[in-house]
């Protein structure tokens, strides 16, 4: 059976990989002239600078993938597991004793609850304050979700984001050899490049600069749309699928990364990353210290400041100098002094993430696809490479099951 995949981003490449492992013939059509989608790395004399994800949470599945496609893992630093949240200063745990007791009591209550309070249409803001307390919500849940989803807690859907976490089946997992965050040597684009090469060596045809329109889709064989939400919506709309028009118009979030390079080998803080709660009034969402996490990959301290999302809608309308100044202003607040970087580089990501609102949940719940048409992407309930890998595995299993049932 031959399977068509539209889109050679990480979702399309991983879907193709797991289908090839099951013996399927796969053909990929990619509108741009390269594989990887948003995953892209700019090389520099100081180390890799990524447009999107700069690391991933390791698992046995990723280790098996890295081994199979002959991808080397970067050496992990001693501070790679240290993550901070800013509350007056950088802290490993931002809650005081009373707030911690309230937070723990909420977690215990959640464990005993059957529905977890995840009613349709309920926002993260409303849910978090009820179950975790105001401080637990503000400094832990909202801060973490803003760092991952770049959204507004007052508008994000609690059930869309949290249901997959609470409903996760407790299967026996194979523990990875390395725990925590990892990255390929020389940056995240190495992952998509090696995946593409592996697929091509296994007879997968990747057609670059090939735009697929709705009337080009042949549903006599399985077809996977592995594009961004707006691009998927355009194809669905063209096929007469009602949810397509809503998906095209859905709110998408822009992001930018400010990479600041410094001479001194003295880190700004002890740790790999720090997230900034909305209430702390920072311009940026958070910061990653590349050399702290992966010291062999960087010749100089490189700080990556993430800015944009739902609380900074106009970030891509500003010029590079103004965006750099916003990051430097946040840095001065943390360091207490103003330091001039030896290099400042801004990388932009237009329509980087879907806003995980109740409206998106409604769209997903009401998508009715014809037989042989499948969707995969970061708008379907999972942001992050770990979630996309799992969804790619599930999709391959579903296609295999459908094939088996048709034969029977």
Q: What is the CATH number of the domain that holds 118?
A: 1.10.3110
Determine, yes or no, domain membership for 238: yes
- pLDDT at position 83: 94
Token reading at 147: 């760092």
Whether residue 376 sits in one domain with residue 240: yes
Reply yes or no on whether the pLDDT at 367 is more than 80: yes
DSSP-derived 3-state class of residue 144: helix
Domain boundary among 120, 137, 166: 166
- pLDDT at position 169: 63
Taking the C-alpha atoms of 366, 371, 377 and 383 in order, what is their torsion angle to the nearest 10 degrees? Answer: 60
Q: Are strands 83-86 and 273-275 parallel, antiparallel or unpaired?
A: parallel
Residue among 188, 193, 197 at smallest CA distance from 43: 188
For the full predicted model, state whether its pTM sits above 0.75.
yes
Reply yes or no on whether the pLDDT at 171 is more than 70: no
Determine, yes or no, domain membership for 334: no
pLDDT band at 29; cut points 50, 70, 90: very high
Whether residue 246 sits in one domain with residue 377: yes
Determine, yes or no, domain membership for 9: yes
Phi and psi torsions of 343, nearest 5°: -155, 145
Which residues neighbour 102 within 8 Å (Cβ) at sequence distance 6 or greater? Answer: 132, 133, 135, 136
Reply yes or no on whether the pLDDT at 170 is more than 70: no
Token reading at 363: 């769209």
Whether residue 13 sits in one domain with residue 151: no
Residue in the structure block whose two tokens are 């991933």: 56
Determine, yes or no, domain membership for 159: yes
Reply yes or no on whether the pLDDT at 32 is more than 70: yes
pLDDT mean across residues, the chain: 94
Query: Can you give the residue range of the structural domain that contains 13?
Result: 2-41+187-250+356-407
Determine, yes or no, domain membership for 52: no
Q: Model confidence over 248-289: pLDDT tens digits?
A: 999 999 999 999 999 877 778 999 999 999 999 999 999 999
- pLDDT at position 149: 94
Instruction: Give residue 12's region: left, alpha or beta (phi > 0; psi -120 to 50).
Output: alpha
- pLDDT at position 326: 98
Whether residue 243 sits in one domain with residue 120: no
């Amino acid at each position: 059976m031959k399977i068509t995949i539209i889109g050679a981003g990480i979702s399309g490449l991983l879907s193709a990989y797991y289908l090839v492992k099951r013996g399927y013939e796969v053909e990929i059509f990619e509108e741009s002239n390269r594989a990887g989608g948003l995953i892209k790395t700019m090389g520099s004399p100081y180390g890799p600078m990524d447009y999107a994800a700069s690391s991933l949470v390791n698992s046995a599945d990723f280790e098996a993938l890295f081994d199979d496609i002959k991808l080397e893992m970067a050496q992990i630093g001693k501070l790679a597991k240290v993550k901070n949240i800013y509350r007056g200063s950088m802290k490993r745990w931002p809650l005081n004793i009373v707030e911690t007791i309230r937070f723990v009591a909420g977690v215990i209550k959640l464990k005993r609850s059957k529905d977890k309070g995840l009613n349709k249409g309920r926002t993260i803001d409303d849910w978090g304050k009820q179950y975790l307390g105001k401080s637990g919500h503000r400094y832990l849940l909202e801060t973490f979700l803003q760092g991952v989803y770049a959204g507004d807690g007052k508008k994000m859907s609690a059930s869309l984001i949290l249901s997959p976490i609470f409903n996760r089946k407790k299967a026996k997992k194979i523990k990875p050899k390395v725990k925590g965050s990892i990255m390929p040597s020389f940056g995240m684009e190495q992952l998509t490049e090696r995946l593409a090469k592996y697929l091509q060596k296994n007879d997968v045809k990747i057609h670059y600069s090939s735009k697929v329109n709705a009337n080009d889709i042949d549903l006599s064989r399985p077809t996977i749309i592995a594009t961004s939400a707006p691009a998927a919506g355009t194809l669905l709309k063209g096929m007469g699928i009602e949810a397509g028009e809503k998906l095209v118009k859905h709110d998408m979030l822009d992001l930018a990364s400010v990479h600041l390079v410094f001479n001194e080998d003295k880190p700004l803080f002890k740790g790999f990353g720090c997230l900034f709660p909305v209430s702390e009034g920072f311009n940026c969402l958070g910061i990653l210290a590349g050399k702290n996490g992966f010291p062999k990959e960087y010749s100089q301290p490189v700080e990556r400041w993430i800015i944009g999302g739902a609380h900074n809608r106009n970030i891509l309308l500003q010029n590079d100098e103004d965006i750099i100044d916003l990051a430097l202003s946040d840095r001065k607040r943390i360091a207490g002094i103003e330091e001039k970087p030896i290099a400042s580089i801004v990388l932009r990501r237009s329509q980087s993430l879907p806003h995980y609102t109740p409206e998106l949940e409604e769209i997903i719940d009401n998508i009715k696809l014809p037989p042989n048409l499948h969707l995969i992407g970061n708008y379907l309930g999972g942001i992050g490479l770990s979630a996309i890998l799992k969804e790619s595995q599930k999709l391959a299993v579903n296609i295999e099951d459908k094939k088996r049932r048709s034969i029977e």
